[in-house]
Structure 1
Amino acid sequence: MAEVNPDCGEAAELSQAALSELLDQCEDQFAVLEKLQNEIILCEPDFCENPQDQSINRLIATEAELKQWLTVEPSLLSANSEVLLKAGKDEMLKLCSELEMVATCCETKRAKLRETKVLEQKWLEEKQQVLLAACDHVKRLEMEKKILSEHSILQDTKEKIKKMKDYQERLMECLGDILEKHLPLPHNESSSNKKKKSIEQEVNEDLISLNEILEMLMNKVLKSPHDPYVTIDDRFWPPYVEMLLRYGIAVRHQENNFKIRLETFF
């Protein structure tokens, strides 16, 4: 914005005639104001018992004066072109100074907005990079999901089943070792006990171990849950069956005492 030279207003000073005319007009205006002030003072009472009433009277007088001034049509301060030119130049210089101040404030604000814009653009770029990285990660996961075929899923399932079977076999082996150690078959007893008996007892060589009985009961429940009963024959040593029934591990059939099943455990 082009700066205005303040000396241009000082170069054209008012002439003596214009200055005298302006002073006369000012004296006339001062006389009018003084007359109006005197009228207002005369309208006010010298003494008022209630200060609130005095304030109200002053307010009414001021409002009446305002209405009177609003009805007066505005007129030029002076008809002299030289006076008007000087007043216009002074007003223009004042307006230019104010506009320069406004322009300076706008420049400062625009500089701050530029800094904010740079920071916002940097933040936007960072967020866009994060968004691109997230999109790439999602695409990579989708590709991996598509590559994962049904065969690989089936192989994984088979491996899990195999691990479960191996674990079951180890558990059964541990159970068999414990039962063989603490609950052996009758033919594992020492021969000294047999000699003490007057009557020799015949031992069935086809007897199955307690571990095998439990395995039969569990397999029966898994293979045919609608008919989980196992028929008792000569291979089942009666003490084993009695122990299973007594400790609630197995139960008899309600109609056939020669059938037992594994108790339902929850």
Structure 2
Amino acid sequence: MLHQDVLMADIDVDQWRNAQSLLLRSAKAARRLVVIHDQGTVVKFRHTAGAECTGKVDRVEDPHALAKELYEANKDTVDFVVVMERDAVDSYFAAVQDSWDIHEDLDVFVQRTYALMDRYADGIVTHPGPAREVLGLQWTTGASRDDVEAAAKALVPGGTTVVLGVHDGDSLWASLVLDLDEDHKVTSITTADPSLVDITGSREEVLDRLTGWQQSAGKTVSLSMVLDRAAADDYLSAPADQKGAVLTSLVGNGSATFRA
């Protein structure tokens, strides 16, 4: 779905940062207790903020049991525990590099980088939750990649543009503008550019300007949606099979604008 040569240009820092805060959860932002060992011998035992942690060990015998024990003992100060074996981590990154295919969609490659963690389930251990669902950047959209791709194919004609936004107060808070080719691959990602389009005003006014801005560049906007800030949280947290009903409710109560 994400073209291997996707263009990312003219991105507004604030719009992009806010969109990321809605759509992604970063493990780097979490409070983590990190244990690194070399075939059982612990070489690092440290909280990412330098906080003191209970249960320090010199050896790792059962990484899964240890991760759970450390989390239970320190859950007031950590969001998760990760126990990693050096050779397993090296092997994982080598496998990721070896798996790259320059011709495949970028999202296929990214999805595989997470799936490959399952090969090293004893060498890259997290608690609570498996490594593939904890580490890196995780979707917070309430939908899988396959769900998003299916929705795009069902709702967005190929060769058109999608405008998405979140409105807060009297201005646009976050936005994404996506161009899709005839094969429904995203070929361009950008945000609203406040130097080119006025992002202040009501939700409907802002959406009119965003749509007109893209149309003036020769784009065909086939789907556009702007939600109020609180409504965005409700929509994103809804399961994939309930998003349609949730969006209908949000439009009905005046907290979202949807055009297709």
Q: TM-score, normalised by structure 1?
A: 0.19
* Greater RCO (Cα-Cα under 8 Å, separation 6 or more): 2
Q: TM-score, normalised by structure 2?
A: 0.19
Greater radius of gyration (CA): 1
More strand by share: 2
